[in-house]
A and B are shown apart, each in its own frame.
Chain A
Amino acid sequence: YTENDFLVNANRKELTDSPLFEYDNVRKPTPTKGLLYPRDSETREVRSLDGMWQLVRSDPYDPLQGIREKWFMDALRKTGREIISMPVPASYNDITTDNLRDHVGTVWYERTFFVPRSWKTMQRTWLRFSSVHYSAVVWINGRNATSHSIGHLPFESEISGLLSFGGDNRITVMCDNRLSNRTIPQGSVYKVATDDGTVPIQSYTFDFFNYAGIHRSVHLYTTPLLHISDLEVTTQLTKEGLGRIDYRVWLDASKEGLQIQPIQLRVQLRDKDGHVAAQQINKAVYHGTLLVPNATPWWPYLMHSDPGYLYNLQFELFVASNEKELESLQDTYRLPVGIRSLSWDNDSLLLNGKPLYLRGFGRHEDSDIRGKGLDNALLARDFNLLKWTGANAYRTSHYPYSEESMQFADQHGIMIIDECPAVNIDIFEPQLLENHMSSLEQLIHRDRNHPSVVAWSVANEPRSNKQGALKYFEFLVNYVREIAHGRPLTAAINANSSSCHLAQFLDIVGFNRYNSWYQNSGRTDMILNLLTIEAQSWRDRFGKPVIQFEYGGDTMEGMHSLPAFIWSEEYQVELFSRHFKAFDELRGRGWFIGEFVWNFADFRTAQTITRVGGNKKGVFTRNRQPKEVAHILRRRYFALAKELDMFGLPEDLTVYISKHIHNEL
C-alpha cells in the first residue's frame, strides 16, 4: 500500500453524494487454504509464542520509516528508539501511561524464541497468528515470512526454511492500525493541526475503540512433511435420530513430502466417553460419510438437558513404511464435531427440526487493560454470565471473535450469529467489495465447522439506504450464498425498511433500533407501538423472519432515579420492560424469531461527549458485574425457556419477598 490509501480527499462534499460504482471488474477472493486450529497430536507439536514481547512505536508522521531502514534485519533495540515491554496477546493501547492509546500508524513487535533441533528433520514448521489488528507484516530472522490484513482473522505461513533449529530465532512484526475507505471496517486518516504540530487522526463511524496489536495467540506448530491441511464437515440429523457427517479432507506436502505415498485415511468418530460411534477407512479418497445410529444431537443451551454435545472426529493418515505392505501413521488431527441439522424458511429458523427463538446479546471482545486481547479468564467468566442470564445466542458484533470463544460456544450450546468486520460501511468502492468478500470468505473458512454458528451476518448498519448499496449487496450476497455452507444469511440494519436496499437479498432480516434513546430520548412510553410497527413493516416488505439485533440505553451503574430518568438503572429496566411487551406481541405473529440486547457489557469507544468513559449500554459493567437490569433480563430469558422449551427455572431466579406473594413470573 501507499500513503495515499490513507489520506482522504479533503473536499467533504464528494463524500455525501458518493458516485455509483461499477463492479464488473471485481475479483472474487482466492479461496483460503489450511488454517486448521493448532492442536497437539501424536504427530504434531504446538508451541505458544505468547508472553512478553518488545514494542517500538513508529513516528506517526513516518509510519514506513522502519521498512526503509530495515528494522527487521536486526534487534529492534538497534533502532535506538524506546523499547516498551508489551504483553501478547493484548491490545497495546491501554498498557502504558502515555498516549500510545491513540497512536495512529505502525508499531513494531519483536521477541526471540528457541526451536528444538528435533523439528528440523521430517517435519514442517508453521507460524500462525490468530489475529493482528489491523494489518501485519512478519519477518523471521530478518527474512520476510508473511503479511496479512483484516485484523480479526488468522493467517499462517510455513517458516521451515527461515528457522535456526536448535538455536535462537527472532520474530519481528510490523502492525499497522490505520483504516481507510477500502479496509474492513472503513475509516479515514486526516492530517490536522494541533498545538504540537500536524498529526494524523484516525476517524471512523463505528462505535467501538479501534484497539490494535497482536490480539490473539501466536503459535509455532509442526506437521509431518505430508499432512492433513484442511477439513470440512457438514452434519445432518434425521427424524429417526440418525446422525450423518459428511467430511472432506485436504492434504498438503512439502517437496520431500511428495515422495510419500498415502495408503489410507482412517476416520473415527468417538463420543464423549471415548467410544467409537462410527468409522470409515478410505483408500485414495479423501471425502466420505459417517452414519451414526442413535446419535446424541448438538442442542442449544436450555433446549436440552445436555446442550452442546460434541463428538471427537479423529482423522488418521497412513502411508507406506519402508517395508512393503506395512503402513505407518503419518498424521493425526482431531476435530470436535456437533451433529445437528439447520434449516430455514420464510417464517422460521429450525435446528434439529425445532423452531428457534434466539435471545441474547450483541457483544464485544473488550476489557480493562487488555482491550481486545484474548483472555481465558474473561472468556470463562463471560460464558458463565451468558448461561446465568439464560441467553442462548449472541452475535459476534462487529467482527469475528476468537477461535477459542467459538469452541466455548460449541461446548456450551450457545448459538452464534457470526458477523464479518464490515461495520457502518458507507462508500461502496469496488476495492471495498473485494475486501468485504474476502473477509467473509476467510470468516466462513475459519468457522464453517462450528455447530454453534447458525447464521452469517454480512454487515452491521451499512448505509443500505444509499443508491449504491443495491448493486453492491446484490453482488456480495450472491457471492456469499455460494460459500455459505448450509447457513442462512442475515445482517443488522438500521436503515428504514422502506429505503433499505440490502434486506431483499437476505434469508433473515435483522434490524437495530434505539427507541427512547437515540430517538425520543426519555420517552419510555414511545417504544411499544413504534417497535411493533417497525418489525411488522420489515415483515410486510420482505416476507422473511425478523430479528431485532440491537436495543438498549446507556446506564451509569449506581445512578438511581425515581421516577426513572435517563442513564439511571431504573430507566434501563423500564426501557427493557417496554421492549419485552413488544417482543411478546411480535412472537405471537410467528415470524419474529429473536431479541438481542445491545450490549452484554460496557465497552470502550472513541472519545465523544455522548460516551461516558465508553459505551455504557451493557447489562454488565466492563468488569463483568451485573446492573439491575441483568436480573430482570435473567427472569425474562428463563421465562422464555420455560415457555418455549419446558426448561425448569433456576432456584435463585426470584427474590423472596413475602409468604403471600406468589413467585410465579
Chain B
Amino acid sequence: MHLRIRLTCRKYEIWALSIFSLVTGLYVLHFSIALILVNKEVPQTRGMLYPRESETREVRSLDGIWNFVRSDQANPTQGVRDEWYAKELSKSRPTIPMPVPASYNDITTDNLRDHVGTVWYDRKFFVPRSWSKDQRIWLRFGSVHYEAYVWINGQKVVKHEMGHLPFEAEVTDLLSYGAENRITVMCDNALIQTTVPQGRITEVPNDGGMTIVQSYTFDFFNYAGIHRSVHLYTTPRTFIEEVEVTTNLSKDATVGEVFYSVSVNGSAANEADNVLQIQANLYDKDGILVANATSDQKLGGKLQVNPVKPWWPYLMHSEPGYLYQLEIKLLATNDELLDVYRLKVGIRTLSWNSQQFLINGKPVYFRGFGRHEDSDIRGKGLDNALMVRDFNLLKWIGANAYRTSHYPYSEESMQFADEHGIMIIDECPSVDTENFSQELLGKHKSSLEQLIHRDRNHPSVVMWSIANEPRTGSVSADSYFELVANFTRSLDKTRPITAAIAVSNTQDKAGRSLDIISFNRYNAWYSNAGRLDMITQNVIDEAIAWNKRYNKPIIMSEYGADTLEGLHMQPAYVWSEEFQTEVFSRHFKAFDELRKKGWFIGEFVWNFADFKTAQSYTRVGGNKKGVFTRARQPKAAAHLLRKRYFALGRDLDQCSFPEDLFTYIADLIS
C-alpha cells in the first residue's frame, strides 16, 4: 500500500523540479551537456494476444457506461489515500456517467475538458459461475491514457504507463463467480519530462488563486480516459500465451512460407514440455485447408503454401490484403485439445536498400497520410463506425499507406489495414522529444518493445517509426537515437526503421541510425507563409540534401496547410480551399521530379482529417490541415489528391481509374 502511494506521489514531486528547471534554464543546459546515456535492459512484454473467442476461450466486453469521478487538480492522490477503490466510487464522490471507450474530455459541458491529474472510473459486472472451473480469467485494456491503476473488488490488479498500448493481468483469484464484481480504474493524464510523450506540469497563478497547467509541444489535444475496449477473457489453465509469425515468399511468388513460434503458459507447460504439441492449420479465405503441421517440444515450425496468394498493398494487386487464417491448437497427451487460438496471416516479404523499399520483390512508392485517432465528442475513443468510414475514404482517395502518427493506433485499425492492404508506418508515442534523459530512454525503448510485441504479426506494418520531430539537433541525440534504433533492430530485423524529422538536414544527428529518412516540412505555411512560388524547388533541394547526406531512401512524411472548409478566395489566400489545392499541386511537381531519382519513395499529406489541438491563436478550433473535415467530409483538395493518387496507381501499378475520378466538363476535355 505504502509503496503504491509512493509511486504515485513521486510523479508529482517532479513538479517542483520542473518549476526549478524553468527558472534556471542554464542549469538544464549544463545538465544536458553532461548527460551520458547507458543502455539498460527493458522489461519484456509477455502475452497480450488480442482477445478472440474460440472453442476454449470466452471473451466478454466491459465497454458501456461507467461511473466517473474527477479528482481535485490540487490533490490528485486523494483517492488513493482515502482508498476510493475499496468501495463503490459513488460512496466517495458523486459520480457522473462516462462512456467507455471514449476520451472523457468532450463529453461534459464543464471544464473537465482541460482537467489535469487523476480521474476515477468504476462499474459493476457479473462473472458467470461456469468460469470458475478449470479456467483462468484475464482483464485486458486496449488503452488507457496516460497512466492507469486498476483494482477489482478493492484489490489491486495492475498498473500501466504508456497510454496507447494494451495491458492485461490475470484476475482469476480476485473475482466472485456467479456474482457481481466491481472494477475501479484511476487514470492520470499528466505528462512530464520522462513520460512518452513529454510534457511539463507547472503551477501558475490564475484569477482564483493557483492552478495546475499542463503544457506540451506536440500538436494534438492530450485526450485522456479509457480509450479502447476493456475485455475480460478466459483461457484454459494451460494456454497459448504468445504467437509470433514471420512470412517469406519465393522469388517467383508462387511459394509462401509461414514461420510460427508459440509460447505456452500454465502448469502443464511447466511440468513436462515434451507432452505438449502444436497443431498448426492454415486456411485460405474460403476456409480450405492449404497447409498444416504438427510440432512438439519447440512448439514452432514452418508451413508452406504452394501456390500462394501473397499479401499485396491496395492498388498493387486486384486482390489486396489477402489473409489466411492460422489456427493454432495446443494438444496434450492423447491429442487432448487444451487451447485454440486463431489469427489472420498475410504472406509477404519485405526488403530494402539504400535506394528502395520492396514488398514481395516489387518497389513500393508510398502515398498517403499522417493521421490522428480523433473525432467529435469521443475524442480518441475507439469507434468502429469512424474506423470503417476512414478506411472507405482512404480507399476512395487511392492512398496505399498511412503513418500512425504520433502514437500506436487501435488494434482494430491494424486488423483493418491488414484486410484492406493499407501499409502502415507504425510510430511509437515519442513526439517532439527533447531533454534526452536516461529515464526517458528507458521509457522510449519500453514503448517500442510494447509496440512491436503488439504489432509484429501484422503484414500491413511495413516500417517502424521510432520518433516524430525529435530535437535531433542536440548534442545527445546522436547516441540516444543510436541506442533506440539498435534496440528496435534487435526486436525486429524484418522491417526497416525510420523517424519523421523536422530539424534541418545539416543539424540532424539521428539519420545515420535509420534505414529510411522521413522529413516534415511546411513550405508556404510555417516557412514563407503564403508564398506558393517557394515550394517546389525548396522541397526538391531539401530531399536531395537528405539523400546526399545519408544515402538512404527518402520520404516526405508531412506537408500541407490549414484550410477552413467553405473559405474561398481567388487568387488563393492562406486558409482558403484554393490555397490548400495550390500548395498540394506545387508539392506534386516536386515529388514527380524526385521520383525520377529513384530514392524518393513516399509522399504523405499532413493530415487526413482536421483534429483537435490545445488552444492557440494559430489553431482555429483545432488543426485544420485535414484533407477531410473533422466530420469526414472532403475539402476541395481531397478531390485533387484523389486524382493524383490514382494517377500514381496507374503509372506505377497499372491499376485502372475509378469511373467517377473525373468530373465531366465538355467533350473537348478528356
Contact = CB atoms under 8 A, between A and B. Distances in A.
Interface in A400-457: 404, 408, 411
A118 interface: yes
B126 A40 contact: yes
Contacts of B333: none
B598 interface: no
A353 interface: no
Nearest to B419: A85
Interface in B371-388: 376-378, 381, 383-388
A90 B97 CA distance: 22
Interface stretch (A198-206, A258-266, A368-376, A591-599): A368-376
A52 B385 CA distance: 9
Given A42-B178, A42-B179, A624-B377, A116 B130 contact: yes
Given A97-B393, A114-B55, A408-B97, 8 more contacts: A42-B179, A85-B419, A87-B388, A95-B389, A273-B91, A381-B106, A384-B108, A411-B97
Contact of A42 (B97, B109, B126): B126
A377 interface: yes
Nearest to B287: A75
A378 B377 contact: yes
A380 interface: yes
B125 interface: yes
Interface stretch (B38-46, B58-66, B253-261, B542-550): B58-66
A86 B391 CA distance: 11
Interface string A89-103: 010001111000000
Contacts of B91: 273
A380 B107 CA distance: 6
A191 interface: no
Given A85-B388, A369-B385, A381-B106, A118 B126 contact: no
A550 B387 CA distance: 36
A114 B126 CA distance: 19
A544 B496 CA distance: 76
Interface string B118-162: 000000011011100000000000000000000000000000000
A206 to B, nearest CB: 24
Nearest to B103: A377
21 contacts: A42-B129, A42-B179, A77-B286, A86-B388, A87-B385, A88-B384, A90-B385, A95-B389, A113-B53, A166-B55, A368-B376, A369-B385, A370-B385, A373-B385, A377-B99, A377-B378, A381-B107, A381-B377, A408-B97, A623-B376, A623-B377
B629 to A, nearest CB: 9
Given A87-B388, A97-B393, A624 B376 contact: yes
B298 interface: no
Contact of B386 (A40, A42, A369, A408): A369
B362 interface: no
A51 interface: yes
Contacts of A28: none
Q: Please provide the 7 A-B residue pairs with the shortest distance between their CB atoms, ordered closest to farther.
A: A87-B384, A40-B126, A376-B99, A118-B130, A114-B53, A97-B396, A388-B109
A375 B100 CA distance: 11
A272 B95 CA distance: 13
Nearest to A91: B385
Given A114-B55, A368-B631, A94 B64 contact: no
Contacts of A90: 384-385
Contacts of A335: none
Nearest to B234: A116
A97 B639 CA distance: 13
Interface residues of A, number: 50
A111 to B, nearest CB: 12
B285 interface: yes
A272 B88 CA distance: 11
A385 B632 contact: no
A416 B232 CA distance: 35
Of residues B65, B384, B388, B632, which shows the largest number of chain A Cβ atoms within 10 Å of its Cβ? B384
B377 A377 contact: yes
B388 A376 contact: no
A41 B107 CA distance: 29
Interface residues of B, number: 51
A97 B392 contact: yes
A44 to B, nearest CB: 8
B128 A45 contact: yes
Contacts of B179: 42
B389 A369 contact: yes
A167 interface: yes
Contacts of A87: 384-385, 387-388
A376 B102 contact: yes
B416 interface: yes
A386 B285 CA distance: 48
B99 A379 contact: yes
A369 B375 CA distance: 11
A9 interface: no
Contacts of A113: 53
Contact of B285 (A77, A379, A404, A622): A77
B183 interface: no
A352 B395 CA distance: 58
A133 to B, nearest CB: 16
A48 interface: yes
B431 interface: no
B98 interface: yes
B54 interface: yes
Contact of B61 (A48, A94, A377): A48
A275 interface: no
A527 B381 CA distance: 44
A618 to B, nearest CB: 14
Contact of A118 (B97, B109, B128, B286): B128
A47 interface: yes
B60 A380 contact: no
A97 B391 CA distance: 10
Contacts of A373: 385
A272 B385 CA distance: 35
A369 B387 CA distance: 10
Contacts of A376: 63-65, 99-100, 102
Interface in A340-397: 368-370, 373, 375-381, 383-385, 387-388
Interface string A102-132: 0000000000011011100000000000000
Contacts of A51: 384
